[in-house]
A and B are shown apart, each in its own frame.
Chain A
Amino acid sequence: MRKFTKPTWLAISWLSLMMFFAIFGWALPFKSWNFVYEDDLEVGLFSNGHILGTDSNGYDLLSSIVAGTRMSIFIAIAAVGLGGLIGSVLGITAAYVRGKVDTVMVTIFNVGLSVPNLVLALALVSVLATNVDINQAVPTWRRVMVLIMSLTIVLIPILGRIARGATLSWAGREFVTAARSMGMRDRKIITKHIVPNVLPALIAVAFLAVGVVIIAEASLSILGVGIPDGASWGGMIARGRNDLEYAPHVLYVPIFFLALTVISTNHLGDVVRAQLDSREAKV
């Protein structure tokens, strides 16, 4: 059993709390997140029964945070899961097969990487979220799907390149040559020998990618094309900008949750990578 340091435990507990909010938040006895408390506008922390206060519209911030956690975490996990799966399949295949397939794949990855993340996501969201009737608003669930799809597409080249690089360094090792010389099928070599070795590197990057997606989702919300009505952390920040001058706690609260979550995922990604490096050094 490895020993974790204190910051690592902190990161794990914080992320567990966030996961708990995301999964069981609806069952907790919080106030309704989209109910307007008309008598408690812009109240501060711990006042009038609002633990984290309310914003200038009278929304309770704690329940908004809990509801936003579900949205932000769901989008992040869905996008990283899908992007990681597709990216690693493409990357591992490209590096294992080499030749023309590899060249094509690398070119596609480079194309994706040559446009800044947010520009790509923004372009994809705007195109995919356009209704046939342009005057009709896009429903929230479709916005969520479009966001997940766009962020997945953004992640594929990033994660695919990592998977390709990791596979390249493993595919040339002796045990792979040995397995091949014994007549093992390519498919089996990949699943038995390549994937288990490439996986730790991918997990380390996946943690970082969760942070990237949470930030990207928030950025898109701030720009007004993400989740509307303050239903995610980014949406809360976007809406809180109106209260910046007179009730800055409306901004502090979502920024605190978002930043701490990203710090935690980045830290865990770092821990996994450090462990990986020390293992590599021993080999």
Chain B
Amino acid sequence: MFKFGFWLQRVAQLLIVLLLVTFGVSMLLRLIPVDLATILLPVASEEERVMLRAELGFDKGPIGYYLQWLGNFVQGDFGKIYFSGGTENVSDHLKQAMPRSLLLMVYTQVLALAIAIPLGVLSAYRAGRRSDKVISNTLFTLSSIPNFAIALLLIIFIGVKFAWLPTLGYVPIAEGYWEHLKHMIMPVISLSVGLIATYTRLLRADMIAALREDYVTMAASKGLSDQRILWRHVLRPSSVTLMTSAALSMGGLIGGAIVIESIFATYGVGFEVFAAIAGRQYIAMQSTVAVIALFYVFFNLVVDIGTGFVDPRTRDRRVNA
């Protein structure tokens, strides 16, 4: 049953979070002790700066500026990037960066889940045995190594010593799928190692709990094979936490992969934020952070809807909670 009021409340909550995030970033800009127009146009005349202030709404006070930015943002005008030769639209930058980030995220998730699900099922099935311990400990150790360290080690060995893969840049799918993949392999591996460990761990814990339930005993007493019980009857209800975590990390991967994107020069959304901050393009920073938060909030909502489908029992539980 679809609880309309509940979802309305949920969406409203997320909208409030979004508004507060963007408002917070907006206020943060006000903390900069230097006039923003001077930063954006370092070598302009005073008249041009006055015009810029009026155009961006800096002269309207904090709230007025925020409302003007918000109005533009909702209409798809994300502001401009200012440099000595003129301006570029932030939305054009994002149009280029977004597919890169999305592809990076999709590949990372696919790789992480493709490895984590079998490992999680295996280690839950053999819980406490040798293979479980080996899997758990190896993954735990690997996941503690920061992703930039993995990236640098991959570059040293696979990129430089053996020269198997290109270490820099991004090639669109249109220019050849194989080339595209070759540029994506190392960033994707660096990003997925940590996720594999998290996912395996979550799935293992949930599967072990689910294996104790009565319906498993029932299925076993009916004579179903272990394989069938594990993959058909236990995996699905055990995957709720896994799916939640996966969806939430999607929000984090868009924009959160800053270091990997800059090490491999993939130039996705994370790199756009970094470039905006490093180049003091504060309007671009505000809009890009807002886009990242938008994705995060969106995936949060997807989690709520998704878990209801995977495990119908949670639907009512959530409403009552």
Contacts and interface: CB of A to CB of B under 8 A. Distances in A.
Interface string A103-130: 0000110110011111100111011101
B140 A114 contact: no
A107 B61 CA distance: 25
Interface stretch (B14-22, B69-77, B206-214, B311-319): B14-22
B145 A259 contact: yes
Contact of B273 (A122, A215, A218, A224): A122
A126 B143 CA distance: 29
B149 A255 contact: yes
A268 to B, nearest CB: 11
Given A115-B293, A116-B252, A223-B274, A237 B152 contact: yes
Interface in A210-236: 211, 215, 218-219, 222-225
Size category of the B interface is 35 or more
Interface SS, A side: helix
Contacts of A134: 34, 38-39, 280
Given A118-B258, A119-B255, A219-B258, A255 B289 contact: no
A119 B97 CA distance: 16
A211 B153 CA distance: 20
B277 A126 contact: yes
Contact of B256 (A116, A123, A131): A116
A266 B263 CA distance: 25
A18 B274 CA distance: 31
Contacts of B155: 244
Nearest to B167: A244
A211 B141 CA distance: 13
Contacts of B18: 114
Interface string A138-172: 00000000000000000000000000000000000
A130 B32 contact: yes
Given A114-B293, A115-B289, A115-B292, A122 B274 contact: yes
Q: Which of A114, A118, A259 has the most CB of B within 10 A?
A: A114
A207 B101 CA distance: 31
B33 A130 contact: yes
A107 B16 CA distance: 8
A53 to B, nearest CB: 15
A115 B239 CA distance: 25
Interface in B1-48: 13, 16-18, 20-21, 24-25, 28-29, 31-34, 38-39
A107 B20 contact: yes
B17 A107 contact: yes
B254 to A, nearest CB: 8
A115 B274 contact: no
B146 interface: yes
B144 interface: yes
**The 5 A-B residue pairs with the shortest CB-CB distance in the complex, in nearest-first order:** A116-B256, A263-B144, A215-B146, A126-B277, A111-B20
23 contacts: A107-B13, A107-B16, A108-B20, A111-B17, A111-B24, A114-B296, A115-B296, A116-B258, A116-B292, A119-B270, A119-B273, A119-B292, A122-B277, A126-B277, A126-B278, A126-B280, A211-B144, A237-B148, A251-B156, A255-B149, A258-B149, A259-B146, A267-B140
